[in-house]
Structure 1
Amino acid sequence: MVGTSKERVANWRKRMKEDPIKYAQYKLKEHERYLKNKERGVVKSIDNMTPREQNKTRRAWRKSQRARTKRIKDMNAMMTPPTSPDENRFQQNSRREAAQRNGRRKKAPGSSKSLQKDTKADN
């Protein structure tokens, strides 16, 4: 028998999802339970909450969404293959490519040295 409760629950869920009929019955039962709780007021929709409760609930949603996004990003990072060693060959020209990409920078009007000398001479 499996040791921890976490493992037992995971095993139970796995067996439940393998049988589509039992899984559908389980989902229906859970939905009915949710509707009962909603009628009793245990579970509120966001419309029925005070503004303060709405803020708290939405903050929790944002937090869980950030955690989910981070988890997916980390999973994708683990799944991607490492970079190839041929990349070092292309990094040699990176400075020149960066200069070409940026193009010539425009100077601010009146910043050239010749204009500054002329204004000093006029004073």
Structure 2
Amino acid sequence: MGESDAETLFERIIAREIPAEIVHETEGTLAFRDINPQAATHVLVVPKKRYRNVAELAAADPELLAEVIGAAAKVAELEGITQSGYRVVFNTELDAGQSVFHVHAHVLGGEQLGLSFGRAG
């Protein structure tokens, strides 16, 4: 999928034009299950207003970034992974694996996650 196609994907989910399994919603965020989960629990938390990445969001609207993080914590609670542990990840740009250029937090957990970061091996 090209960047121009990907840019509107989350906006279409937020507008309910594309179906998604919604886990949690706030005034400014929407959380839904990743269609290609990388852990037993893999939920995306997306601000309803589009910013390209987390740095852009932090610079433009720190309160909305706080709402995204709060929503991620609520997702962990709803998914029952608060005590066992979870990871919140923001990928920024292509080398980090960002494929949809609408900032989103990955909430991962529900199993033992690898402890390494960066390149495997």
Q: Between Structure 1 and Structure 2, which shows a larger proportion of strand residues?
A: 2
Q: Which has the larger radius of gyration?
A: 1
Instruction: Confirm or deny a common fold (TM above 0.5).
Output: no
Normalization by structure 2: what TM-score?
A: 0.29
Q: Between Structure 1 and Structure 2, which shows a larger proportion of helix residues?
A: 1
